[in-house]
Amino acid sequence: MSKHSQNCKVCNTDIEGEIYHLGFSDMEALYCWDCPNVLLIKDRDFFSGNGIVFPNLMAGDKGWQEYNKHLLPYYEKAEELLPKCKCGGHFRFMAPPRCPKCNEYLAGKGYDNKPYYRNHKYVFVTIGSVYLEDGKFHEST
Ligand SMILES: [Zn+2]
Ligand SMILES: [Zn+2]
């Protein structure tokens, strides 16, 4: 992880936080749908261990859909395994990062109605996170 600053496109505030490169740290991350909180899953076998295996399809493969929409039903099932956020919201695969100041999307409101806007490469942690380790979820701030 490393220090990171990102300008919110909605309220124009420079938001400080830490960035985790998911590929290097072998981690999955999901933002809360309703607040800037993040769920970090350091256990790569968490989903498969619970019977959820995501199909690894490329464009053109049988069953593949535009913007990886074929993954949506798998995400819904996987999300049932996750704890609730302390704000009362849910961590979701499709949730984009929110601004801790204005609570809008950091990247702005316009996503061109694309249903798939996750960034698989890194996650931006601003107000804290919840992480899974040794089969249990822990709060960290
Ligand atoms: Zn903002
Ligand atoms: Zn939340």
Q: Which ligand ends up closest to the CA of 10?
A: 1
Per-residue confidence (pLDDT) for residue 17, from 0 to 100: 96
Please choose, from the candidates 40, 33, 16, the residue with its C-alpha nearest in 3D space to the C-alpha of residue 90: 33
Per-residue confidence (pLDDT) for residue 74, from 0 to 100: 94
Average per-residue pLDDT for the chain: 87
Going by the DSSP 8-state scheme, the letter that residue 97 receives in this structure is P
Q: Which long-range contacts (CB under 8 A, 24 or more apart) does 134-139 make?
A: 135/43, 137/39, 137/83, 139/86
Of 2 and 113, more confident:
2
Asked which of 1-10, 20-29, 62-71 is least confident by mean pLDDT, the reply is 20-29
Per-residue confidence (pLDDT) for residue 110, from 0 to 100: 64
- Rounded distance from Cα 9 to ligand 1 centre (Å): 7
- Rounded distance from Cα 6 to ligand 1 centre (Å): 10
Q: How confident is the model at residue 36 (pLDDT cuts 50, 70, 90)?
A: very high
Q: How confident is the model at residue 118 (pLDDT cuts 50, 70, 90)?
A: low
- Rounded distance from Cα 85 to ligand 2 centre (Å): 5
Q: Indicate whether 113 pLDDT > 60.
A: no
Token pair in block for residue 99? 């601004």
Per-residue confidence (pLDDT) for residue 117, from 0 to 100: 52
- Rounded distance from Cα 80 to ligand 1 centre (Å): 29
Q: Across residues 32-48, what is the average pLDDT? A: 91
